[in-house]
Amino acid sequence: MAAARVPDPDLARLVERALGGVLDPEIRKPITELDMIGGVEVDAAGAATVRVKLTIVGCPAADAIERDVRAATAAVPGVTAVTVDVSVMSPAERSALTEKLRGGRAARVQQFGPDSLTRIYAVTSGKGGVGKSTVTANLAVALAERGLRVGVVDADVHGFSVPGLLGLTDADGVAVRPTRVDDMILPPVAYGVKVISIGMFVDSASAAVAWRGPMLHRTIQQFLGDVFFGDLDVLLLDLPPGTGDVAISVGQLLPQAEVLVITTPQPAAADVAERSGVVARQTGQRIAGVIENMAGLAQPDGSVLELFGSGGGAEVARRLSAGQDEPVPLLVSVPLSVPLRAGGDAGAPIVVTDPQDPAAAAIRGVAEQLATRARGLAGRKLGLSLR
């Protein structure tokens, strides 16, 4: 059937347009913009051949991309059969892509400079175990659920738990390894959030804990430079508890970051929580607010079990407000919640799986406050001209 081999350029154009709706699951951009389509042909009988060029050999997203390309092509009216021909980009094509993704920015230059439009929140706490990572992970997902482009940097060297909290671990609890395209690192995505964690680069949970300051500083620098986050609305950093090297590095690298201080209601914890806020302020960061976690648990009889006392969050906010022009608000009090803990253990954040749970509702409330806050412009150049 000679006629069947005659190409149909109009149909090929329609297929190309349809492929604009296929996203690379790791880079989160249309594959057409990433130059991953090597060509589309459709013959007169409607048989389409799509050539896909993956970024790297063994690309973990290969199956998803091939499936989505097949589905998008088959959905074009007039297409009767689909062949997807998969190959890998040449080194030159790959380096053109990484350069394009960086927007001309040289490798290792950090992408969240002072003119970046991304709102950055460093989440800190005075001591460990107050639920900083749990709140950060759920907050990130709640922000993504609101349609924001969200990234998380898990810089908690002592307890990099964000991959586990968002289901980015294997059956043994080992964090997934990010894909690398040359020197660009693609952050794994979970629940719409791009995540990078110290836990994704070490072989055992205890390995990173011994890192010294300079090593930690370089790692944070690499996260901010080599990890492809793309345009983000919000970046959350889960810092180690206390006032150590990582907090100081983040303060130096991201002076425009705002700080969220997490504390429990225990009045005795207020001192250390206050100190973590004060150190952030010393590096020029602004404190966006205090989040009290592990507050009273409602009992079936209507009473409230205050396992960790009460008032700690308000006390930290009060102390951090002293002498400031603008008071530091207590943003929310997140109650103790068995589903919040269980969701964390299962890698399924309750802001998605159980949004009516009081703790989930509280965290979603913070997401709403942060999403609707005007971006602080203090000290920034406004690219405006008055007419």
Question: Two tokens at 347?
Answer: 């890698």
DSSP string, 224-244: HHHB---S-SEEEEEPPSSSS
- Classify the phi-psi angles of 53: left when phi > 0, otherwise alpha if psi is within -120 to 50, otherwise beta: beta
65 binds ligand ATP (CB under 6 A): no
In 3D space, the residue among 30, 28, 24, 25 whose CA is nearest the CA of residue 230 turns out to be: 28
124 binds ligand ATP (CB under 6 A): no
In the bound state with ligand ATP, the residue whose beta carbon lies nearer, of 88 and 272, is: 272
Query: Least separation, in Å, of the C-beta of 246 and ligand ATP?
Result: 11
**Count of positions on this chain that bind ligand ATP (CB under 6 A):** 21
DSSP-derived secondary structure letter, 49: E
Query: Least separation, in Å, of the C-beta of 275 and ligand ATP?
Result: 15
Among the listed residues 94, 119, 132, 149, the single contact to ligand ATP using CB under 6 A = 132
Query: Least separation, in Å, of the C-beta of 342 and ligand ATP?
Result: 8
Q: Considering only the stretches 29-37, 125-133, 141-149, 178-186, report the one whose residues sit in contact with ligand ATP under the rule CB under 6 A.
A: 125-133
Among the listed residues 198, 237, 291, 294, the single contact to ligand ATP using CB under 6 A = 294
Query: Least separation, in Å, of the C-beta of 339 and ligand ATP?
Result: 9
In the bound state with ligand ATP, the residue whose beta carbon lies nearer, of 234 and 261, is: 261
Report whether 55 contacts 26 (CB < 8 A).
Answer: no
Query: Least separation, in Å, of the C-beta of 298 and ligand ATP?
Result: 12
Q: Rounded CA gap, 152 and 143, in Å?
A: 11
Q: Considering only the stretches 6-14, 122-130, 172-180, 190-198, report the one whose residues sit in contact with ligand ATP under the rule CB under 6 A.
A: 122-130
Among the listed residues 120, 235, 332, 340, the single contact to ligand ATP using CB under 6 A = 340
Among the listed residues 49, 133, 256, 263, the single contact to ligand ATP using CB under 6 A = 133
236 binds ligand ATP (CB under 6 A): no
Q: Considering only the stretches 14-22, 52-60, 132-140, 222-230, report the one whose residues sit in contact with ligand ATP under the rule CB under 6 A.
A: 132-140
Strands (E), 225-375: 234-238, 258-263, 286-295, 297-298, 304-305, 330-335
In the bound state with ligand ATP, the residue whose beta carbon lies nearer, of 190 and 340, is: 340
CB atoms within 10 A of CB 304: 13
Contact pattern from residue 199 through residue 228 relative to ligand ATP, giving x for each residue in contact according to CB under 6 A and a dash for the rest: ------------------------------
Question: Two tokens at 226?
Answer: 């080599």
Question: Two tokens at 284?
Answer: 């020029």
CA dihedral 343, 347, 352, 355 (to 10 degrees): 10
Strand order in the sheet with 193-197: 189-190, 193-197, 150-154, 234-238, 119-125, 258-263, 286-295, 330-335
In the bound state with ligand ATP, the residue whose beta carbon lies nearer, of 175 and 294, is: 294
Question: Two tokens at 260?
Answer: 């969220």
264 binds ligand ATP (CB under 6 A): no
Estimate the share of the chain in helix, then strand, then coil, as percent rounded to the nearest 5.
Answer: 35, 20, 40
Query: Least separation, in Å, of the C-beta of 359 and ligand ATP?
Result: 5
185 binds ligand ATP (CB under 6 A): no
In 3D space, the residue among 60, 71, 64, 79 whose CA is nearest the CA of residue 12 turns out to be: 79
In the bound state with ligand ATP, the residue whose beta carbon lies nearer, of 12 and 122, is: 122
In the bound state with ligand ATP, the residue whose beta carbon lies nearer, of 133 and 179, is: 133
In 3D space, the residue among 200, 154, 198 whose CA is nearest the CA of residue 178 turns out to be: 200
Tracing tokens 């590095």 back to the chain, one arrives at 249
349 binds ligand ATP (CB under 6 A): no
Among the listed residues 129, 147, 213, 214, the single contact to ligand ATP using CB under 6 A = 129
125 binds ligand ATP (CB under 6 A): yes
154 binds ligand ATP (CB under 6 A): no
- Classify the phi-psi angles of 298: left when phi > 0, otherwise alpha if psi is within -120 to 50, otherwise beta: beta
Binding site for ligand ATP (CB under 6 A): 125, 128-134, 156, 159, 161, 241, 293-294, 334, 336-337, 340-341, 344, 359
